[in-house]
Amino acid sequence: MSKLIASSAIRGAHSLYNKAEAAYNAALAAKGADQPVSFPDTAYYLPVAYALLAIKVKTLGDIQPVLAKAKSMLPDIPAEDAWLPYLGNTLDSGIAALLSEEIIEAMKYVMGPNPVEGIWLGATDDVIVRTQGIKLVDGSMPGFAAVVGAAPTTEEAVKLATELRERNILLFMAGETDGKTMADQLNEAGVEMGWDVYLVPFGRDISAAVYALGVAARAAMTFGGITPGGMKEAREILMYNKNRVFAFVIALGDVDDEKYATAAGAINFGFPVIANTDIPQILPTGITTYEHVVSNVPLDKIVDTAVEVRGIKIKITKIPIPVSFGSAFEGERIRKEAMFVEFGGQKSPAFEYLRMRDMDDIDNGKIEVIGPEIDQMEEGKAYPLGILIEVAGRKMQSDFEPVLERQLHHLVNGAEGIWHMGQRDMNWMRISKSAHEKGFKIEHFGEILKAKLMDDFPAIVDKIQIKLYTDADKMKEVLEEARAAFIARDERVAGLIDESVDTFYSCTLCQSFAPNHVCVISPERLGLCGAYNWLDAKAAHEINPTGANQPIIKGETIDERRGQWVGVNELVRAKSNNSVQQVNAYSIMEDPETSCGCFECVVAILPIANGVMVVNREHTGETPVGMKFSSLAGSVGGGAQTPGFLGVGRQYITSGKFIAAEGGFKRIVWMPKELKEALAGQLKKRSEALGLPDFVDMIADETIGTTEEEVMEYMAKVGHPALEMDSLLG
Amino acid sequence: MEVKETYNGKIREATIGLGDTAVTVGGETSLPLYMFEGAAPNKPVIALEVYDTKPEDWPEAAIAPYADVLDDPVKWALKCQDEYKADMICLNLASTNPSTGDRNGADIAPIVKAVADAIKIPLIVYGTANADKDAEVMPKAAEACQGKRALIGPVEEENYKTVAAAALGFDHLAAPHSPIDVNIAKQLNILITQLGLAPERVIIDPTTGALGYGLEYCYSVMERLRLAAMTQNDSMTQMPMINQIGREVWKAKEVKTSEADEPAWGDAETRGVLWEALTATALIMAGSNILVMRHPKAVELTRQFVAALTGATN
């Protein structure tokens, strides 16, 4: 805690209190205690006093207890040689300052001069608070800034106002620097002001800044449903503001005692202070979400700094690209004849890589094309393209890198006339002739990714910068880094086993049609739709804490071999509406997991063959179990436990936990050729890991037979290991 | 032997409107109409539809009861209140639909205010379920009827922040609308209450299907919401429910077709009235608390049904 700030704030609070008391006494002498006092058109009396003290000021006489309370909160002014002020004292003096300022302003309504004069708007009525509050709640207005003082020049004032308005941040103005206010500056420059244009000049005096807190206090009472009553409610009102009203103070120019005191008042609401002058900082967090006072910020960085320090999320409503964007365009293909240029696809070096950086290492929003732009490219040719996305966020984790990176496919495909497939350094992109004609450039890849990643993942992405390499030499270094990262990620995923974590995730996305189905997603068993693995579910939970993916603390192990835990059972019981009592994550025979309807594959036992078959959704032919996929799906799905049948994601087939309770991978006796080919690499790897390098060839497919008898003949011929295993039926 | 189920859940009570004419719904402590197992302190109530512009596509039988007031939402609302004894008025802002009138919030605000000020009974105001348009219109509508504690809907997944915030800011109730989906219904309730709206100010709109047009699907979703509310004590499903019956029923082919076109189907009015009443009674059995209806005769039949089942008199 800076002694300088504390001392100044306390002195400022004393000064404001004295002014309030003098104004009050003058009004009382002139008008008497019964004189009505109110701000125009509000049901919240003097809103700050009402919110914090539950005092309903209706007459001059009602102000007495407010003054008394303000006085009681005034700490003694610290002596020059004493080192005593603490945050608590400063915060108290901030409250005393706000209460005093509100009285000062209220006395203007009683005695004049009318605070509404010229450009100044004075107190805010309830309808405006409600109308603007809706924008705060729905995020279309991400927050508000209270500017005290004036910018060094009129041009800088206009620029600051423009920067805030571009982000839809409402700007309140009060207080002057050397006789000038920011509102004066905007007025001189001919900038129109008012609530409709997000520029609100409250008043010339610093005391008018209290109107901003009056808006904040009423937002909490109106939208937070908090009725003032005492300390508890006052605290709730302050907490509501801290957590939901993303406001901050910008202090321009010299910060005098009264401004310090007002700023201390704002800190009580969780509103940090950003200053362009070299005032002492209060960096440790506590009352505000992040830092309290950040100073010496150049004017052109002040908005970004404020946005970061307050944790404000800006909504991008329209992506600035010359082609349409939407999921309707995701499915379009661009054939060679329609293509202007292409990238990757074995024709040129290309990659896409997203990595996490520190907050300070990111120049937020910057998009850089390193190498030639599209106007230097020739029709029909392939060019290098490396996409490096760097993100930072206070809640970002390196585990979320691949989750975000994978979004690139559907995000880029969302643009009309742009086509993407593949991932990592095996991607392939095309820009169509029509998109090129409309003016689509390489930099627009950056615009899409910036806008969508910020907008779709506000919980984890605070800042983003994007580099687009179209120069093969210049991308080399980053490509090497990317490849190293891909290897490291694969190792991380390979090293992630169920035993290494204590938390699994539930997925109940499918309950709309399978009301009792719950997927239990563990590192070694992904969701049966194949779309959500453990890392995805973890990220999804971080992004949407009330969504379909909830953490499951495994709890005590009931059966290690079959994969049964106390915590998992409890969750499945609750989420399945009590219809499933227990599940074994690794068993197909005893209490298997339920299936919804979206499984990529069905695993079914072949009792005579003593093994299992796996059939994928795409396979339309007969299978040895006597049913096609479609009939099988009907008997497996719907959220019921069906021993002997299991809906699974493809990746689970080669997992170490694949029906481990029944002997695992070696039980597989049949799968369609197409599936074998699609998973060839992984199947081989898993076979080798089990010491059975030729195992994949022992698995029959439809070219060998589609009856259990034919499969058994083949098994005998190749010596399939399932023949030697314990009977499946026990 | 008498077998009774005991429930650990309870539907919240919600009050729409203020003062003497306020209407309270909900409060059930058993599955719908299982009066032998629990209490149902508030009977289902009926709101009559009023539109902000003269409807173009209504069949003759639906127009007849309102022929003299279709041009004037205020007179229309008063007729519903005074002559047809509606428990509430549901003002539909159909003219804001972008594909028809596309009027904006400022255009309809005076209509909302005029209707709200004219009637004594509680008001429901519904947008057109066009998420973007409602996000613009409903805050203005909510402002126009502030001080009435109206029910504002539909609140959709895509615009819940704006529309629910409007209900919150202007002290109304909100009707989150989910597409026949228990999970979305529940998720929306969670999101809306996290926004700050008290659960006592939430009425679930589970989407209504008319008889022959998805009624059974709608029924089973409502049934599941009630089962979750009663047997699992799932707090985020324990809100009363509203069904938009009139507008669904009166666009069904079986209701719109005239007797001249299908003589075998019989009198068109009787057909429409029965169609609407049957849909309404089925939904009451599924747990509906607020039935938004169109034809006064269907309302009458539905009231008789409610009276017969609950012993209540009107």
**pLDDT one-digit tens code per residue, A177-222:** 999 999 999 999 999 999 989 999 999 999 999 999 999 999 999 9
Q: Which of A256, A280, A310 is the last residue of a domain?
A: A310
> Which residue, B146, B153, B149, B113, is CA-closest to B130?
B153
Burial class (CB in 10 A: 0-12, 13-18, 19+), A612: buried
Chain A neighbors of B227, CB-CB under 8 A: 577
Q: Do A11 and A63 share a domain, yes or no?
A: yes
Q: Domains of chain B by range and CATH?
A: 38-304 (3.20.20.20)
Please indicate, yes or no, if residue A494 is contained in any of the structural domains. no
Please state the length of chain A.
Answer: 730
Q: What is the rounded CA–CA span in Å between residue A25 and residue A606?
A: 94
pTM of the model: 0.74
The pLDDT score that the predictor gives to residue A81 is 61
Of A138, A222, A577, the CB nearest to B161: A138
Q: What is the CATH number of the domain that holds A352?
A: 3.30.1650.10
**For B224, nearest residue in chain A (alpha carbons):** A515
Q: What is the rounded CA–CA span in Å between residue A562 and residue A556?
A: 14
Chain A neighbors of B196, CB-CB under 8 A: 137, 223-225, 244
Q: Please count the structural domains in chain A.
A: 3
The pLDDT score that the predictor gives to residue A319 is 86
The pLDDT score that the predictor gives to residue A281 is 78
**pLDDT tens readout for residues B90-143:** 999 999 999 888 999 999 999 999 999 999 999 999 999 999 999 999 999 999
> Which residue, A663, A654, A660, A658, is CA-closest to A686?
A654
Q: Do A268 and A134 share a domain, yes or no?
A: yes
Q: What is the rounded CA–CA span in Å between residue A54 and residue A46?
A: 10
Residue A294: how many CA atoms within 13 Å on its side-chain side? Answer: 24
Please indicate, yes or no, if residue A490 is contained in any of the structural domains. no
Mutate to test the interface with B, among A512, A544, A576 (most CBs of B within 10 A): A512
Q: Do A585 and A718 share a domain, yes or no?
A: yes
Q: Do A467 and A545 share a domain, yes or no?
A: no
Q: Kindly give the pairing relationship between strand A557-559 and strand A564-565.
A: antiparallel
How many angstroms separate the CA of residue A164 from the nearest CA in chain B? 22
Structure confidence at residue B313 as a pLDDT band (50, 70, 90): very low
Please indicate, yes or no, if residue A317 is contained in any of the structural domains. no
Of all residues in chain A, the percent with pLDDT exceeding 70 is 97
Q: What is the CATH number of the domain that holds A709?
A: 3.40.1470.10
Q: Do A467 and A573 share a domain, yes or no?
A: no
B131 shares contact with chain A (CB less than 8 Å): no
Chain B neighbors of A508, CB-CB under 8 A: 183
Q: Do A19 and A163 share a domain, yes or no?
A: yes
Chain B neighbors of A515, CB-CB under 8 A: 182, 224
**pLDDT tens readout for residues A446-503:** 999 999 998 888 888 989 999 999 999 999 999 999 999 988 888 887 788 999 999 9
Chain A neighbors of B218, CB-CB under 8 A: none
Structure confidence at residue B261 as a pLDDT band (50, 70, 90): very high
How many angstroms separate the CA of residue A315 from the nearest CA in chain B? 13
Q: Kindly give the pairing relationship between strand B151-155 and strand B173-176.
A: parallel
Q: Which of A282, A310, A338 is the last residue of a domain?
A: A310
Q: Do A90 and A137 share a domain, yes or no?
A: yes
Q: Do A372 and A439 share a domain, yes or no?
A: yes
B261 to each of B2, B250, B268, how far by Cα in Å?
A: 52, 17, 10
> Which residue, A63, A67, A84, A66, is CA-closest to A75?
A84
Q: Do A301 and A444 share a domain, yes or no?
A: no
B141 shares contact with chain A (CB less than 8 Å): no
Burial class (CB in 10 A: 0-12, 13-18, 19+), B26: buried
CB pairs under 8 A between A and B: 63
In this model, does residue B284 exceed pLDDT 60? yes
Query: Are A134 and B184 a contacting pair at CB < 8 A?
Result: no
Query: Are A512 and B146 a contacting pair at CB < 8 A?
Result: no
Q: Which residues contact A291 (CB under 8 A, 6 or more apart)?
A: A272, A281, A282, A283, A284, A285, A309
Please indicate, yes or no, if residue A487 is contained in any of the structural domains. no
Q: Which two tokens stand for residue A695?
A: 């195992």
Chain A neighbors of B191, CB-CB under 8 A: 546
* CB burial readout A94-131, b (16+ within 10 A) else e: bbbbbbbbbbbbbbbbbeeeebeeebbbbbbebebbbb
Report phi then psi at A210, rounded to 5: -65, -25
> Which residue, A541, A510, A512, is CA-closest to A527?
A510
**For A129, nearest residue in chain B (alpha carbons):** B169
Instruction: Calculate Rg over the CA atoms of chain B.
Output: 18
The pLDDT score that the predictor gives to residue A2 is 67
Please indicate, yes or no, if residue A661 is contained in any of the structural domains. yes
Residue A546 belongs to domain spanning: 500-724
**Which residue type sits at A699?**
I
**For A219, nearest residue in chain B (alpha carbons):** B169
Q: What is the CATH number of the domain that holds A163?
A: 3.40.50.2030
Please indicate, yes or no, if residue A458 is contained in any of the structural domains. yes
Q: In this structure, are residues B223 and B283 in contact, taking their beta carbons and an 8 Å threshold? A: no
Please indicate, yes or no, if residue A730 is contained in any of the structural domains. no
Please indicate, yes or no, if residue A493 is contained in any of the structural domains. no
**pLDDT tens readout for residues B23-61:** 999 999 999 999 889 999 999 999 999 999 999 999 999
Profile chain A (730 residues) by mean pLDDT over runs of 10 residues: 78 96 96 95 96 96 96 83 67 95 97 92 94 88 93 94 90 94 95 92 96 95 91 93 91 92 93 88 70 86 86 76 82 89 93 93 93 95 96 89 87 91 89 95 95 87 94 94 90 86 90 81 91 87 83 95 95 88 95 89 94 94 93 86 93 94 96 94 94 94 95 95 89
Identify each DSSP E strand in A134-251 by its residue range: 144-148, 170-174, 199-203, 247-251
Per-chain mean pLDDT for chain B: 94
Q: Do A419 and A545 share a domain, yes or no?
A: no
Q: Do A422 and A509 share a domain, yes or no?
A: no
Query: Are A512 and B182 a contacting pair at CB < 8 A?
Result: yes
Q: In this structure, are residues A601 and A649 in contact, taking their beta carbons and an 8 Å threshold? A: yes
Q: Do A145 and A290 share a domain, yes or no?
A: yes
Please give the helix or strand (H or E) that residue A504 lies within, else none: strand A503-507
How many angstroms separate the CA of residue A513 from the nearest CA in chain B? 8
ipTM above 0.85, yes or no: no
The pLDDT score that the predictor gives to residue A512 is 63
Q: Which of A261, A284, A310 is the last residue of a domain?
A: A310
The pLDDT score that the predictor gives to residue A90 is 86
Chain A neighbors of B136, CB-CB under 8 A: none
Of B162, B184, B232, the CB nearest to A138: B162
